[in-house]
Amino acid sequence: MKKPKIFVVGASNMDLISYVPRMPKWGETLHGSRFHMGYGGKGANQAVMAAKLGGEVKIITKLGNDIFGENTLKNYKSMGIDTKWVFFTDKAFSGVAPITVNTGGNNAIIIVTGANDLLSIEEIEKARDDIANADIMVCQLEIPIEISVAALKVAKDSGVTTIFNPAPARPELPDEIYQLSDIICPNESETEMLTGLPVKSLKDAEKAAKSLLERGVKTVILTLGDRGSLLVEEKEIVHIPAVKVKALDTTGAGDAFVGSLAYFLSSGKSVTDAMRRASYIAGVSVKSSGTQVSFPRAKDLPEEIAN
């Protein structure tokens, strides 16, 4: 059987995770309980999630000529991800993301994008044939927005389904982003920032999603944390409840959802079925600490989810 083909355009970061009893106040030095270093970046996480499920995954990203970059490349290869379009630069360090996680599993993240900012439109064009050969292309906002727009245009020109994850959040996006995206997949805070509308209830979420549809996107999938996810299209609105779990670390849960969503849609699943499976996998990811290491492989999932 043909493997689902996913092309990811996005950032690679090294996650530097500190676990603390609570978030520090301004000017405060706080003792943490432990420290973890792992591979991250929204593009990298989504690519790894899709690969762990069995997808044929390619990523275009840029790393620094440093130990973080070298190890990130090795990590991609160990996950079975095609690294043909992984570029290096000596003009910036690899991206890093210092992350603070409290005992409730909630996190605060600082992103220093570094080499990710130097990915160019010319490099996107070099990958045009491989983007065109994908079932789905995924991109986010940890790289310069003009690079995401260029990638979305290449995918749209080739008839490739596009998923746009507008994260990290920013208040305004070019109109063409919505028109080039088949699916936009923001979380609650990203939705509030994009629309200026509250997302305190499912009815709020529906109203905010409809305002995104008006901008030209065909399908809106809102991730709502422990409330699950919400599909909003012109003729259909479906709420997929979350699986109830005790969260240890929510870092990367949204990326687990998006990477899984891309994989299952590439496999030919319906949008609601893909959302249901992706929601389950995101729930599995929050039960363990770390980001990519918390993402399950297909063999570790129930048959009704992984199949």
Exposed, middle or buried, 33 (CB in 10 Å: 0-12/13-18/19+)? exposed
Percent of the chain residues past pLDDT 70, beyond the cut? 100
Percent of the chain residues past pLDDT 90, beyond the cut? 84
pLDDT score, position 170:
85
* Mean pLDDT for the stretch of residues 223-234: 94
DSSP 119-181: --HHHHHHTHHHHHT-SEEEE-SSS-HHHHHHHHHHHHHTT-EEEE---S--S---HHHHHH-
* Mean pLDDT for the stretch of residues 69-77: 97
pLDDT digits (tens, 9 = 90+) for 128-146: 999 999 999 999 999 999 9
Is a pLDDT exceeding 70 seen at residue 225? Answer: yes
* Mean pLDDT for the stretch of residues 225-245: 92
pLDDT score, position 136:
98
Is a pLDDT exceeding 70 seen at residue 243? Answer: yes
Please tell me the total number of residues recorded for the chain in this structure: 307
Is a pLDDT exceeding 90 seen at residue 39? Answer: yes
Sheet holding 34-40, edge to edge: 34-40, 13-19, 95-101, 107-109
Is a pLDDT exceeding 80 seen at residue 213? Answer: yes
3-state secondary structure (DSSP) of residue 260: helix
- pTM of the full predicted structure? 0.92
pLDDT digits (tens, 9 = 90+) for 157-212: 999 999 999 998 888 899 999 999 999 999 999 999 999 999 999 999 999 999 99
DSSP 196-214: S---SSHHHHHHHHHHHHT
pLDDT score, position 91:
97
pLDDT score, position 169:
83
List, in order of start, the domains of the chain with CATH numbers. Answer: 5-306 (3.40.1190.20)
Is a pLDDT exceeding 70 seen at residue 1? Answer: no
Question: What band does 104 get if pLDDT is binned at 50, 70 and 90?
Answer: confident
Residue pointed to by tokens 């297909």 = 298
* Mean pLDDT for the stretch of residues 37-59: 96
- 90 in catalytic set: no
CA distance linking residue 172 with residue 147, whole number of Å: 16
15, 135, 249, 255: which one is catalytic?
255
Rg, the chain, Cα only: 18
Residue pointed to by tokens 């028109």 = 179
